[in-house]
A and B are shown apart, each in its own frame.
Chain A
Amino acid sequence: MSGGSFYQRDRSWHPPAYAPTYKTSVTRSPQKALIALDNTLSEMTGPVFGHDMLGPLDDDLIANFAKDGDPIGQRIIVHGRVLDEDGRPVPGALIEVWQANAGGRYRHKKETYLAPLDPNFGGCGRTISAEDGSYRFRTIKPGPYPWPNGPNDWRPAHIHFSIFGHGFAQRLITQMYFEGDPLIWLCPIVSTIPDKAAIERLIAPLDMANTVPMDARAYKFDIVLRGRRSTLFENRKEGN
């Protein structure tokens, strides 16, 4: 396993901290420049999560909170690979997901949207990528919902992803959107990302080849984490 420092993060590709169309960012954005920190072991290492931590229903949001039947909504499979910037698979990556139910309602004390909770849907799940970087989980397609930003702002349907790679410097939280959703291009959170190509990379296409006939449609979502240098050269001292 290569274990060197990570390639510098391209901060012009990510959303800036201050993005005033997303109002909450206005007072939660650092104003001073980030200080560059060459990776030490503290950044190059990270927690390792084993497949033995997973329960049998952790990757099945249709079943893992069900009380007396399946949740309401469109049954889907989300699958893809976790890769690094060199295109290499990232095995052993813990992926945690959370989402609203089919009506666009989250199971959370502070949620106030009038759409109903689904008694059979919790909205959280997790899995760990395989040796080839692949992962999959089963869920219900989340609904779009209104949120208090502008007077009439709506979030496109989305699934939140939290990903651990091999080093703490790779830590990433992002959101997956669904192909064809017109709300994507109206969303003040999506548009914090300056580059259209970066947004398109967060939109999962419908994947008919992995769809289970008469059961669940599939969406493919690949995730790219930061790549890293090889230790072989990095630790060589000058003159060696």
Chain B
Amino acid sequence: MVQSLDRLKESASQTAGPYVHIGCTPNFSGIEGVFPQDLGASMLNAEARGERIRIVGRVFDGVGAALKDAMVEIWQADADGLYPSPQETRGTADANFTGFGRSAGDMATGEFIFETIKPGRVPFKDGRPQAPHVTLWIVARGINIGLHTRLYFGDEAAANEADPILSRIEHRSRVSTLIAPKTLEGGVPTYRHDIVLQGDKETIFFDI
């Protein structure tokens, strides 16, 4: 026998189930008066720096049906590429921007919406700049462990081309599943980002 590493095992994941919205967005699910507002419902105030954008999309299962019981969370840097976190040592992030958003998705269509700002660039481990991106985390009934993915911006072709993570993806035809095209909807720059859980057009998910 050798010595023990004395390391604990992470608690095992279990599905968020069909009623994740009761706990994570209770006001959305009709349980009012417990919390003043749902966590992550608002990411910024009027003073926040940066270009206002909207991120919208749906989550599709392996037969092409949109999920209506998913929860999508996003985490992103501010307009200068800084995170509001104690691990952020390069500067102080914009106090008017939280970086964190949570969306239940529309009960009828499943569409999630985030009103946010376009993030600045964050360095890779070796210091090279990554292309601007947003981290996404998706849970739902039938998803046994939360899925991590990223959104990159369709109007950042040069940065995406040089991105240290995107450029390392072996199957080049899959890279487009991470890149959201830009449209203008109601005058707001909008990035439409559908997530496909399974099949030919399956979104790239990361083991982070």
A123 pairs with B31, CB closer than 8 A: yes
Q: What is the predominant secondary structure among interface residues of chain B facing chain A? A: loop
CA–CA, A34 to B208, complex, Å? Answer: 9
Q: Are B11's CB and A171's CB within 8 A?
A: no
User: In the docked arrangement, what's the CA distance between A48 and B9, Å?
Assistant: 24
Alpha-carbon separation in the docked complex, A97 to B34 (Å): 13
Checking A32, A46, A106, A190 against B202 with a beta-carbon cut-off of 8 angstroms, the contacting residue is A32
User: Is the beta-carbon distance between B73 and A171 smaller than 8 angstroms?
Assistant: yes
Most buried by B among A36, A40, A125: A40
Taking the closest CB of chain A, its distance from the CB of B87, in whole angstroms, is 4
Q: Is A45 touching B130 in the complex (CB atoms < 8 A)?
A: no
Whether A116 is near chain B, meaning CB under 8 Å from some CB there, is no
Name the distance in Å between A139's Cβ and chain B's nearest Cβ: 12
What residues of chain A lie closer than 8 Å to B85, measured between beta carbons? Answer: 45-48, 166
Q: A96-B24, A109-B30, A122-B31 are in contact. Are A37 and B206 (CB under 8 A)?
A: yes
Smallest CB gap from A4: residue in B: B87
Using Cβ atoms and an 8 Å threshold, which residues of chain B touch A46?
Answer: 75, 85, 100
**Complex: how many Å from CA A112 to CA B107?**
16
Tell me the complex Cα distance, A76–B202, Å: 43
Report the bound CA distance from A58 to B141 in whole Å: 25
How far apart are B77's CB and chain A's nearest CB, in angstroms?
A: 7
B61 at the interface (CB under 8 A from A): yes
Measured between beta carbons, the chain A residues less than 8 angstroms from B67 are 28
Q: Contact between A27 and B23 (Cβ–Cβ < 8 Å)? A: no
Q: Are A48 and B144 in contact (CB under 8 A)?
A: no
Q: A36 to B112, alpha carbons, bound, how many Å?
A: 26
Chain A nearest CB: distance from B168 CB in Å? 9
Is the pair B197, A29 in contact by a Cβ cutoff of 8 Å?
yes
Interface residues of B (CB under 8 A from A): 6-24, 26, 29-31, 33-36, 39, 61-63, 65, 67, 69, 73, 75-77, 83-88, 98-100, 107, 122-125, 130, 133, 135, 137, 139-148, 150, 165, 169, 174, 197-199, 202-208
10 contacts between A and B (CB under 8 A): A22-B144, A31-B199, A34-B207, A37-B148, A41-B77, A41-B123, A98-B26, A110-B18, A173-B14, A224-B8
